[in-house]
Amino acid sequence: MTGGEGDWYLRSTYEPQPTPEPEPTPEPEPTPEPEPTPEPEPTPEPEPTPEPEPTPEPEPTPEPEPTPRPDPEPVPEPEPGPRPDPEPMP
């Protein structure tokens, strides 16, 4: 409603109604306190890892014995005498 010229009679006869008191807001229920969190159990310290035993050094592998070579066939010695001339090199 705007305050135009035609509204004067409404304003003169209007009796303001007493403002009704607002209903009191009901108090919110108190929030229940959360249960205290139980403290976590202390983590047990891990047992110290035992030091590994030192690995024993491997025994040195014995060198294989050399395979005996078969005796070479004896080369017949040249008969004593005049030697043949060696072939001339080209």
Q: Is the pLDDT of residue 2 over 60?
A: no
Rounded distance, CA 11 to CA 4, Å? Answer: 11
What is the pLDDT, as a whole number, of residue 49? 81
pTM higher than 0.85, yes or no? no
Could you identify the residue written with the tokens 């070579």?
69
- pLDDT tens, residue by residue, 30-66: 787 777 787 777 787 877 787 778 777 777 787 777 7
CA–CA–CA angle 42, 44, 50 (5° rounding): 160
Alpha-carbon distance of 2 to 11, in angstroms, equals 11
User: Does the pLDDT at position 90 exceed 70?
Assistant: no
The tokens describing 32, both together, are: 């229940």
Say which residue the tokens 């010695």 belong to. Answer: 77
Cβ(1)–Cβ(7) below 8 Å: yes
